[in-house]
Structure 1
Amino acid sequence: MPDSPPRYKRILLKLSGEAGVGGDGFGIDPKTLGAVAEEIAEVARAGIQVCVVVGGGNIFRGAALAETGMERASADYMGMLATIMNALAVQAALEKIGVYTRVQSAIPMEAICEPYIRRRALRHLEKGRVVIFAAGVGAPFFTTDSGAALRAAEMGVDALLKGTSVDGVYTADPKKDPDAKRYDTLSYKEVLSKDLRVMDTSAVSLMRDNHIPIVVFSIRERGNLLKVLKGEGVFTTIA
């Protein structure tokens, strides 16, 4: 049987800080980071244009600190800085294995990365570079899910892939409920009405309005990203 061609030509990969670079704990885990870099490199070398958004929860959670009394805006800006640290870590891991990258930040930090400029980001993708977007939307009160959805719409991607530590969307947390069932497909409306918390509601709504499917899969399984892009393996598609 011939190898299946990838279903998408341009994707945005959304990673949580924990699943993407932090393993199961705090900080940046080199083994987890290296494995994720290999996944991205495999896809980029297959000719797929890739942009990436990484959360910052493995370093800092602004919302959690805001709940203890810190001003929410300040806490969120601190969280954005954590996403920049993770973006630079992903960049270093990719370039170590020969993948050209650019980091663009919604908060200008010219000494370490480019400011976010849409047309420049598109040009990088067209040249085969992996573009890593940092600092969310550049404003407090928005999650990195919202930042990922916004960049996905701006880049005109064919799909937003959310890499997690589980292999799709379930009726309940499969780590806590052994009877939880995985969905193969869901509509945007079902995700919102059932409050499945795949991404925040504004992110899901933005993907619905722009007709961009959300594909939820496990980033922990070696080679899984390319398999999912070929329609193989286990995942949940929201469209």
Structure 2
Amino acid sequence: MPYRRVLLKLSGEALMGEQSYGIDTSVIQRIAAEIAGVVAQGTEMAVVVGGGNIFRGLKGAAAGMDRATADYVGMLATVMNAMALQDALERMEVPCRVQTAIAMQEVAEPYIRRRAMRHLEKGRVVIFGGGCGNPFFTTDTTAALRAAEIGAQVVFKATKVDGVYNKDPACFRDAVRYDRLSFQEVLRGELAVMDGTAIALCKDNGIPIVVFNLFEAGNIARAIAGEPVGTAVHPELVPH
């Protein structure tokens, strides 16, 4: 594997599969199996999970909830997803730890950077739940922040689409997918890779991002093996 340590960002929506709500256990099991295969090859893996399959703070705020309260509810949803993924990994005998930015010691460890890095060095998968512990920040920003903190070489964002497009492929049949982009191109074109704070964190710390389709079997392993999957966003300008 070309990467020693990586961070995988899983959207909450991806975890519900074809369902309209909640967790699709078959999807979780498939993801866990792919992660297990990657870890067996010697790659150290951390995971950040979203919570949009259960609750999304922005939607709660739009419905009249206080925005900070809605975001905290969303953080709790990410912990539920983290625990479900941990269970699936442990069933496959993959050592795993959940760390949360909001203390809940009965079900998970508190997020401690050095402890997380020690787990990774010992071959354990570390799943970060609870976002970054603060409202008004997305789990994309959490992924970029944790990647910088633990020294990850790349952020892999697994989604329902197969890369970054110049416009929404679900609405426009002539949407064009990019194979490679620079951070400057992403910011200049306001492309939907991650939110602006996450992009700025990765750009400032020289951490590349790879966006790919989670639902194509084997894509996690292919992406981490360095194969051209989805769209790669690099710190420097990349000639097309």
- Hey, what's the Cα distance between the residues in 1 that align with 2:76 and 2:199? 24
- Hey, what's the Cα distance between the residues in 2 that align with 1:236 and 1:144? 20
Q: Which of 17, 34, 38 does residue 23 from structure 1 map onto? A: 17
Contact 2:49–2:139, Cα closer than 8 Å, also in 1: yes
- How far residue 169 of structure 1 moved from its aligned partner, in angstroms, is 0.7
**1:232 lines up with 2:227 in the alignment:** yes
- How far residue 233 of structure 1 moved from its aligned partner, in angstroms, is 4.5
Contact 1:224–1:233, Cα closer than 8 Å, also in 2: no
SS in 1 for 2:61: helix
Question: Deviations 1:186-205 (Å, cap 9, x if unpaired)?
Answer: 11111112111211000000
SS in 1 for 2:99: strand
Question: Deviations 1:19-53 (Å, cap 9, x if unpaired)?
Answer: 1x211321011111111111111111111000000
Residue number in structure 2 paired with 1:91: 86
SS in 2 for 1:137: coil
**1:152 lines up with 2:147 in the alignment:** yes
More divergent stretch after superposition (222-231 vs 58-67): 222-231
List gaps (5 residues or longer) in structure 2.
235-240
Question: Percent identity among equivalent residues?
Answer: 58
Contact 2:164–2:192, Cα closer than 8 Å, also in 1: no
**1:139 lines up with 2:153 in the alignment:** no
**1:57 lines up with 2:63 in the alignment:** no
What is the TM-score with the length of structure 2 in the denominator? 0.95
- Hey, what's the Cα distance between the residues in 1 that align with 2:35 and 2:158? 11
**Matched residue type, 2:67:** R
What is the TM-score with the length of structure 1 in the denominator? 0.95
List gaps (5 residues or longer) in structure 1.
1-5
- Hey, what's the Cα distance between the residues in 1 that align with 2:92 and 2:166? 38
Q: Which of 179, 182, 197 does residue 177 from structure 2 map onto? A: 182
Residue number in structure 1 paired with 2:67: 72
- Hey, what's the Cα distance between the residues in 1 that align with 2:91 and 2:178? 37
More divergent stretch after superposition (40-49 vs 223-232): 223-232
Number of aligned residues:
233
Residue number in structure 2 paired with 1:223: 218
Residue number in structure 1 paired with 2:98: 103
